[in-house]
Structure 1
């Protein structure tokens, strides 16, 4: 039932809304730090991402360290995190320094086979051509081929994470991304925020019509409160 409800929600957000209008209504609701850093961009401008957060915490390291089980653990918990992606999930990762890629083509292939809907990275991706050919939505700070294996590892997942600009993401939050950025809607507020965003989007359509008919923007704003 939850998967079906999410599928309906994702389609509604994808077809009717966009990050700007969702961000505006969150500002009005006092949720003012919900956008991820602005340098996180889609590989393709037309990409729209809607899904549930599966947060991943990355940390820098030096070499293949031996873990508590007495064996080398390249990538830390990354492979486990990847294998636990569920339909509708967004792999969303932060915590690393900008020295290596956090995501690549084989990860995209695995995520897609599991029904995940995208990856959002507070850092670089690699294998750009492979990801584009696969058609898997990825948002990152750019492409950079340096591997993470000897430089970073996943230390936790399905845990709250915080980006450098103070935006916090918790498991199950709604993630929405488009050409204007990526934001997170806290799970407890999704219903109210999406309802308000749909109303605001409809109001903006009305205002657009008023402008096209020659109305003064000041008068329109005084009447509608929308601009």
Structure 2
């Protein structure tokens, strides 16, 4: 039986662990697709603002991750609270296999809520990566761990007295994109895209089809065919 989340917030969304089929989907996305083709497929369906801001970068250029969003909301504080890590620990300990942690800090530049130990704990729980809308630290250790982390900056400060987790598994805004628990999050070197849960199947089907057409286009262009002819045949650019 899967572990149930402890619900301490009336607005918190309770989720189940990813199924074997979900894990196969994530593996397919990470191995075969790329954020640009997924973004193009979202565009085709009228979802034209699903890519996070340009400053979300992987801590290692090889990092890629796909999974269901596990959202975490943080805020700046200016004194050390009585229990500075309580809700943060609860959120990480409740992670389920197949999730990608998405942390909103309100674009804080003083709160570095993510580092080596949270990455280690998340990987051990089966999380596939983390998207941090703010600063991180312990970068070399995270690279050695090979846990995909994307962030907007690096700073060696602890979050204690600077920021605190206020809730998790609730709708958040990260990178100027609304993220709901259970949305599909996909990140690679080009950036981070968020696919609303209700349209995941169609988006991935479209993206896979476009990827195949792009592969054929690339092969024919390498053989010297004109771009105009290849575009007319496959309809991708």
In the superposition, the TM-score normalised over structure 1's length comes to 0.92
Match of 2:164 among 144, 147, 153: 153
Q: Does the alignment pair 1:95 with 2:105?
A: yes
* Cα distance in 2, alignment partners of residues 225 and 93 from structure 1: 37
Describe how 1:68-87 pairs up with structure 2 within 5 A: 72-75=82-85, 77-87=87-97
Alignment coverage as a number of residue pairs: 220
Q: Gaps spanning 5+ residues in structure 2: where? A: 1-16
* Cα distance in 1, alignment partners of residues 208 and 123 from structure 2: 29
2:19 partner SS: helix
Cross-structure match for 2:218: 208
Q: Does the alignment pair 1:9 with 2:20?
A: no
* Cα distance in 2, alignment partners of residues 164 and 176 from structure 1: 14
Cross-structure match for 1:113: 124
Residue pair 1:19, 1:177 contacting (<8 A) in 2 also? yes
Residue pair 2:105, 2:111 contacting (<8 A) in 1 also? no
Pair 1:164–1:20, CA change in 2 (3 A): closer
How far residue 100 of structure 1 moved from its aligned partner, in angstroms, is 2.4
How far residue 116 of structure 1 moved from its aligned partner, in angstroms, is 1.1
* Cα distance in 2, alignment partners of residues 29 and 142 from structure 1: 32
Q: Does the alignment pair 1:171 with 2:187?
A: no
* Cα distance in 1, alignment partners of residues 136 and 27 from structure 2: 26
Q: Does the alignment pair 1:39 with 2:49?
A: no
Structural RMSD (CA): 1.5
Which moved further from structure 2: 6-15 or 196-205? 6-15
Any idea what the Cα deviations from partners look like across 1:108-163, whole Å, max 9, x if unmatched?
11111111111110111111122122221111113211111101111111011112
How far residue 206 of structure 1 moved from its aligned partner, in angstroms, is 1.4
Pair 1:137–1:206, CA change in 2 (3 A): same
How far residue 31 of structure 1 moved from its aligned partner, in angstroms, is 0.9
How far residue 223 of structure 1 moved from its aligned partner, in angstroms, is 3.7
Describe how 1:179-190 pairs up with structure 2 within 5 A: 179-190=189-200
Consecutive aligned runs of 4 or more in structure 1 exceeding 6 Å deviation: none
* Cα distance in 1, alignment partners of residues 230 and 143 from structure 2: 43
How far residue 2 of structure 1 moved from its aligned partner, in angstroms, is 4.7
How far residue 202 of structure 1 moved from its aligned partner, in angstroms, is 0.4
